Chains A and B, each alone.
Chain A
Amino acid sequence: MTAPVRIAQLSCGPEYSGVQQEINEAAKAVNGEIFFPDIALKDIMQNFNEFGLDVRSPDLKLTIARAKALVDGRVDADAVFIATCFRCAEAAIVRNELRRYIHTSSKLPVVSYSFTERTTAGTLLTRMEALTTIARRRALLARETQQGITLGVDSGSSTTKAVVMKDNKIVGTGWQPTTEVLKSAHDVIEHAIKEAGIKRKEVEAVGTTGYGRFLVGKEINADLIQEELTVNSKGAVYLADKQHGPATVIDIGGMDNKAITVQDGIPGTFTMGGICAGASGRFLEMTAKRLGVDITELGPLAMKGFSEQVPMNSYCIVFGTQSLVNALAAGSTREDVAAAACHSVAEQVFEQQLQEIDIKEPVIMVGGTSLIEGLVHAMGGLLQTKILVPKYSQYIGAVGSSLLASGFIKDK
C-alpha cells in the first residue's frame, strides 16, 4: 500500500453541518488523508492581514491563513480540499479566491466544494479521486502518445463507449445507450475490436472510466480504473492537439457536467455539477423528442433559429420544457425552440459552473453533447470564443482511458 495522499482541508462549517465524516470517508476511499494545516495564532493574524480579504468569520480567517501557509511552503501537503457551506456568500468569495490563489501560486492540485447537510461521501468521491490522482500520478498523466494496442471503455450514465487504439491512432469504436452496465460494455468492446480488425487477446492494456468504471473494470480486468475528470481532460487535449499550455475542457454529460482547466494536460481546477437535469444532455434529448427530430438533428435545427425569440422562464427540465411547448403553441418556429433549448442549457452551465473556474483558451467541448452544434454555438456565444470540438469528441473518456492505459504496457 502506498502512503496516503495528504490532503489539506481548508473549510468553514463542515463539522457543524454533519458532513466532516463524509469528507474523511471520501478521502479514505481513494487512499487520501485529510489534515488541517497547523499554524499559530500570530500567524493567523499576520497571514490574514497580508492576504487582504477582510472577512468577518473567524473560521474563514483561519482558512485564509492556512492557505497562505500552504502556498508559502510552511506546511507540506500533496493536495488541497476547500469546503464551505452552500449559500454562504462570504464563504463563496473566500472559496473562489483561495482556489484561484492556490492554483496560480503553487503546484498543489485543489478542488473546492460547497456542501449542504445532504452532502455524502459518494458525492465527493469522484472529486477526491481526481484530486489524489493528480497528486499521485503526475507521471502517468504526463503521457502524450498512445503506444501498442490498448482498449478504453467509458461506462457513462447515458451511454457506453469503447475505443481501440493502435500506435497513437483510433482504429475501432463502439457506442450504445447504457442499459445493463456490463452487457452494454461487452457489446461496445466487441464492436470496437471488430472494427479494429484485431483479436481481444492482442489488446495489451485496458482502461475504464465513467460511472460504471469499477464494475466494468473488475469484469474486464482493467489495468487502469480512473474517474472521468482526469481522463477526459487528458483525452480532450490529446484529441484537440493542445497538450501544451493552458486549455479549458467542458463536458455536458447525461447526468452531470464537468468544467476543467488544464495546464499541460494536467487538470488544475475543476467543477462538477449534477443536481439539475435542466442543465444536462437529457433536456436536449427531451426537446428533440418533443420537436419530433432525432437528437442528431437538433443541433443543425438550432443553428437556423434564434433563441431570443422564445421566452424561457425556467431552467427546470419540467418547467423549461413547458415553456418550449407553450412557445410552439404560440407560433414559435421549431428552429427557434431548438435554439432556445440549447441556449438554456449553455447558459445554466455558464452561470452555475463556468464562473467557478478561470476559463483559459482554447475551450474544448467534449462528450456526446458536443456534437449538438447549436449547443456549442450557444456556449461559444456566452464565452465569446470559438470552441474546439475535436474529432471523436463523443468518445472522450474511452480515448483518455486508452491513451493512459498504454502507460501500463511495460509493466506486463
Chain B
Amino acid sequence: MTEYAPKNPGSVTKYIVVESPNITPSELAIRAYEISQGVIIKETCFGLAINGTEEEVDRLIAQLRTVDSDHIFIKDRGFLPGDPRRCRANLGGARPGFHGIEFETTVLPYISTGLEELRTRDAEGIPAPQNPLDRKKLDVYILKKLIETQEP
C-alpha cells in the first residue's frame, strides 16, 4: 500500500467548454491567459481546464463568461488539469466521462438558442416541455377514429 499525498489541496478545477461560432477555444485561452492572475490554465480540445483558489476561479469565470456568455459552458472537475490518472495518453483511451461531454456537446447548440431567446423573452411565457414521466394515454377521440377506420 502506498501513501497518497494530494497535490494542490483546497484548489478548485473547472472545465470551460466553448461551442461558439464567434470564438475558438484557443482564442478564449488567450483571453484567459491575459487575465489569469495566477490561475493555472490548460487548453483542451473542447475548451479550457482552469485551476486556482475558489475566489480566483470564480473571478476568472465571471470575466470569461462576458466574452460569449451564451456559448460558454462551465462545470466542476475533480482532478487537476492534466492529471495523469485521467489523461488519455496514460490510459490508452479516453476516460469514460469524456464521452459524456462528447455527447452533451451535441446538445449545446440547442441550449445556446434557449439562452439567447431568454434574453428577449420572459421564461414565464414559454410553454413547459413534455414531462418525461407523464405517460400519455390515448385520446378517446383518436381511439374512436382508429376504430372507425378499421376494416370490418
Contact = CB atoms under 8 A, between A and B. Distances in A.
Interface residues of B, number: 9
Contact of B92 (A37, A40, A41, A44): A37
B103 interface: yes
Contacts of A44: 99
Interface in B73-106: 88, 91-94, 96, 99, 102-103
Contacts of B102: 40-41
Contacts of B94: 36, 38
A319 interface: no
A66 B91 CA distance: 14
Interface in A239-273: none
B96 A62 contact: yes
A78 to B, nearest CB: 12
A401 to B, nearest CB: 33
Nearest to B95: A36
A36 B92 contact: yes
A59 B100 CA distance: 11
B103 A41 contact: yes
18 contacts: A8-B92, A35-B91, A35-B92, A36-B91, A36-B92, A36-B93, A36-B94, A37-B93, A38-B88, A38-B92, A38-B94, A40-B102, A41-B99, A41-B102, A44-B99, A58-B96, A59-B96, A66-B93
Contacts of A58: 96
Contacts of B96: 58-59, 62
B93 A35 contact: yes
Chain B interface SS verdict (over half): helix
A39 interface: yes
Interface string A34-56: 01111111001000000000000
A44 B88 CA distance: 17
Nearest to A66: B93
A36 B102 CA distance: 17
Given A39-B93, A41-B99, 11 more contacts: A8-B92, A35-B92, A36-B93, A37-B92, A37-B93, A38-B92, A38-B94, A40-B102, A41-B103, A44-B99, A62-B99
Nearest to B101: A41
Interface in A1-19: 8
Contacts of B99: 41, 44, 62
Interface string B25-63: 000000000000000000000000000000000000000
B21 to A, nearest CB: 22
Contacts of A41: 99, 102-103
Interface in A93-121: none
Interface in A21-42: 35-41
A58 B96 CA distance: 9
Interface string B93-121: 11010010011000000000000000000
B103 A38 contact: no
Nearest to B105: A41
A74 to B, nearest CB: 12
- The 4 A-B residue pairs with the shortest CB-CB distance, nearest first, are A35-B92, A38-B93, A36-B93, A41-B102
